[in-house]
Amino acid sequence: MGRLVEVVVESVRVHMLSNRHVIILKDAERDRYLPIWIGAWEASAIAMKLQGLSVERPITHDLFVAALEALGARIHHIVIAALADETYHARLVLDVGGKSVELDARPSDCVALAVRTQTQILVAEEVLELAGLGSDPDEGESAGSDVDLAGGRPRTSVDRDYRREVPIESLGEAVVDERLDMFRDFINSLEKGPGSG
C-alpha cells in the first residue's frame, strides 16, 4: 500500500429519492472529498455518535469497542485501503499488547468504530485518486451544491460546513428543506385515503 492520507468525517447524508445513505470523508489537508455509499444502519450509527446522541443499550459498534477495551486491545487506526469492482475495502488496525493486528472490515463499520474512539481515519492515496472529488470553493461551488458522486449514481448534497445538529434525514440546506416540506405535504395528503376528505 502506498501513501496514506488522513481524512475526517465531513457529513453523513441520505439521498431523498433513493433513500440511499452516503458518508462524505474530507482530506484533512486539501479540499478533496471521498463519498462512500453505506447502509442505513451504519449511517445512523455514525451520525448518532457525531451528534453526541446515546442509546439506552449499547449498539453493536459500542459493544465491539467495550469488548476490545475489556480484552486490553485498542483501535490504532483504520485504513480505507482499496477500491475494487465498485466496492471499498478497509482494514481495522488494532494494538493488542503492543502487537499490531489487522482485520478486514467494511469502511462503514470502521468509521463507526473510529468516531467512537477518536481514532485516525486514513485513505490510500490511490483510492482518493480513483474516487475522490476535488472542489475549489473559489470556483463558485457553494455548500449544498449537487455533486455527481460517480457515473450515473444518485446525486446528493455535500455540506462543506458540517454541523453536528443536522439530523441524518435532513440535507441541511434551506432550498432543499423547502422541497422536503413540499414532499412531506404531498405524502401527508396521501395519508387521507379515498373518500376521507
Per residue in 103-158, pLDDT tens? 999 999 999 999 999 999 999 999 999 999 886 433 333 333 333 222 233 333 33
| Per-residue confidence (pLDDT) for residue 151, from 0 to 100 | 29
Residue 197 domain-assigned (yes or no): no
> Among all chains, which residue has been given the C-alpha cell 450515473?
152
Antiparallel, parallel or unpaired: β 120-124 and 73-84 = parallel
Element (H, E) at 104: strand 99-105
Range of the domain at 73: 4-190
What is Dmax (Cα atoms) for the chain? 70
Number of domains in the chain: 1
Residue 44 CB neighbour total at 10 angstroms: 19
Q: Please say whether the beta carbons of 23 and 36 come within 8 A.
A: yes
Rounded alpha-carbon distances, angstroms, from residue 175 to 67, 102, 145, 180, 182: 44, 44, 10, 9, 11
| 187 confidence band (pLDDT: 50, 70, 90) | low
Q: What is the CATH number of the domain that holds 144?
A: 3.10.690.10
Handedness of CA 82, 85, 86, 91 (dihedral sign): negative
Higher-pLDDT residue of 10 and 197 is 10
Residue 53 domain-assigned (yes or no): yes
> Among all chains, which residue has been given the C-alpha cell 434525514?
169
Residue 195 domain-assigned (yes or no): no
Q: Which three cell numbers stand for residue 149?
A: 458522486
Residue 155 domain-assigned (yes or no): yes
| 36 confidence band (pLDDT: 50, 70, 90) | very high
The four Cα atoms 33, 35, 40, 41 give a dihedral, to 10 degrees, of: -60
Q: Please say whether the beta carbons of 136 and 142 come within 8 A.
A: no
Q: CA 167 to CA 90: how far, in whole Å?
A: 26
Residue 157 domain-assigned (yes or no): yes
- Note the pLDDT tens digit of each residue in 58-91: 999 999 999 999 999 999 999 999 999 889 999 9
| Per-residue confidence (pLDDT) for residue 91, from 0 to 100 | 97
Taking the whole predicted model, whether its pTM rises above 0.85 is answered as no
DSSP code of 103? Answer: E
DSSP code of 192? Answer: T
Antiparallel, parallel or unpaired: β 87-96 and 73-84 = antiparallel
Q: CA 103 to CA 86: how far, in whole Å?
A: 20
Rounded alpha-carbon distances, angstroms, from residue 56 to 15, 53, 111, 112, 134: 28, 10, 21, 18, 40
